[in-house]
Amino acid sequence: MNTVAIKFDAFEDLKNEECQERILRAKKALGNKIIILGHHYQNETVYRHADLTGDSLKLAKYVDQLEAKYIVFLGVHFMAEVANILSRPDQITVLPDLSAGCSMADMANLAKVERTYRELSKVLDFNQTITPITYINSAADLKAFCGEHGGIVCTSTNAPKILNWALQQKEKVLFFPDQHLGRWTGYQAGISLDEMPIWDPDLPLGGLDEKTISKAKVLLWKGHCAVHQMFRPEHIKIFRDKYPDGKVISHPESPFEVCENSDFVGSTEYILNTIKEAKPNTQWLVGTELNLVNRLADEMKAEGKLVKFMSHIVCECSTMARIDPQHLAWTLENILNDKPVNIIEVPKKEADLARLSLDRMLQVN
Ligand code: CIZ
Ligand code: SF4
């Protein structure tokens, strides 16, 4: 047995096929010491090894039932943080590549959120007036901020329920980091667009005047997902011209005009369930990450369902794609040697506060 962890260099140039064999071998040897969780946006080459798959909400809900000592997360950093926060102290969460982040999550950070708190406090009593909601696509310290300020976490699956809860607590919501999910959810709840101004965290008072802030119901953080931002109403038009009976289904991280022009809007779980339950021989245009759409298109062929990706450009989530067979094989072999690498551990104080906002979410849902 090695006394130090094996370096990634030893895996970097391995062919995918060899990694697949080594992953299977390591998984078998580890047995129920590990459990592998996989997000829907993961590439097929690693997704096939997941014991449990889902969107971030479904995966988060699995965590407190897991017995395994090691939780290996095929997803991005914030998801592994959530698994660590919700798991037992004796469990170890591992992310095969630490550079698997989320560019949308990075559009908000604690310094900017605290500055926002100070700016808003110049014109209103933040704690009396505003419920902060952070999309689960955010760092643990932002979930801790929400925990500390009566706020809550949401996912794209439960956003409508969470917004409703938040507006029952206080008159306004600060929604970060995704303006599109916030806007679409608010709009569906009957809030008008002019009551949902964009908050630019880099400008004094978010770039707004006092009157706009006082009228606002939802302040939408100026953030977005670069992958979903690529979808355009023109893509929908081309599809509808070609398939007049076809249906369009989009993720709420897509721009407002895309959601407005879609037949259905919802999270990855919702997209998968809707198309799987649809009648055979139907046609679908899907606005979400490419790996999910490709996998679904393959699965649905047998039922004669045509599943097309919304853009002509390859919109793969490049950070999700960092988790490849090489990193997974490397991670598992190090666990096998009792030398786990890439451990995700949220500091205790931050984890306790973040857990408050996650627990509030899990209670509402
Ligand atoms: O919540 C998630 O897992 C994400 C990032 C997207 C979705 O809708 O499932
Ligand atoms: Fe983040 Fe967008 Fe990738 Fe989802 S698809 S993980 S929001 S960058």
Confidence of residue 101 (pLDDT cuts 50, 70, 90): very high
Residue 342 Cβ < 6 Å to ligand 1:
no
pLDDT of residue 313: 81
Query: pLDDT per residue over 295-305, tens digit each?
Result: 999 999 999 99
Could you please report the per-residue DSSP string of 105-165?
A: GGG--HHHHHHHHHHHHTTS-HHHHEEEEEESSS-HHHHHHHHHTT-EEE-TTTHHHHHHH
Q: What span, in angstroms and rounded, lies between the C-alpha atoms of 187 and 160?
A: 10
Region of 304 (left: φ > 0; alpha: ψ -120 to 50; beta: rest) is left
Q: Among residues of the chain, what percentage have pLDDT more than 70?
A: 99
For 115, the token pair is 């500055």
Ligand in closest contact with the CA of 56: 1
Q: Are strands 34-39 and 172-176 parallel, antiparallel or unpaired?
A: unpaired
For 348, the token pair is 């205790």
Is the pLDDT confidence value at 285 over 80?
Answer: yes
Confidence of residue 92 (pLDDT cuts 50, 70, 90): very high
Is the pLDDT confidence value at 100 over 70?
Answer: yes
Contact 328, 49 (CB under 8 A): yes
Mean pLDDT of 195-199: 98
Query: pLDDT per residue over 29-41, tens digit each?
Result: 999 999 999 999 9
Question: Whole-model pTM?
Answer: 0.96
Ligand in closest contact with the CA of 40: 1
pLDDT of residue 316: 83
Q: Among residues of the chain, what percentage have pLDDT more than 90?
A: 98
Strands (E), the chain: 34-39, 52-54, 70-74, 92-94, 130-135, 152-154, 172-176, 198-199, 218-221, 247-250, 264-265, 283-287, 306-309
Residue 42 Cβ < 6 Å to ligand 1:
no
Query: pLDDT per residue over 241-283, tens digit each?
Result: 999 999 999 999 999 999 999 999 999 999 999 999 999 999 9
CA of 216 to the centre of ligand 2 (A): 27
Residue 333 Cβ < 6 Å to ligand 1:
no
pLDDT of residue 1: 57
Could you tell me which of 198, 184, 108 has the C-alpha nearest to residue 146?
108
Could you tell me which of 332, 270, 354 has the C-alpha nearest to residue 60?
354
pLDDT of residue 2: 65
The separation between the first and the last C-alpha atoms of the chain, rounded to the nearest angstrom, is: 45
CA of 293 to the centre of ligand 2 (A): 14
Q: Kindly report the average pLDDT of the chain as a whole number.
A: 97
Q: Which residue has the CA at smallest separation from atom 7 of ligand 2?
A: 225
CA of 287 to the centre of ligand 2 (A): 13
Is the pLDDT confidence value at 365 over 60?
Answer: yes
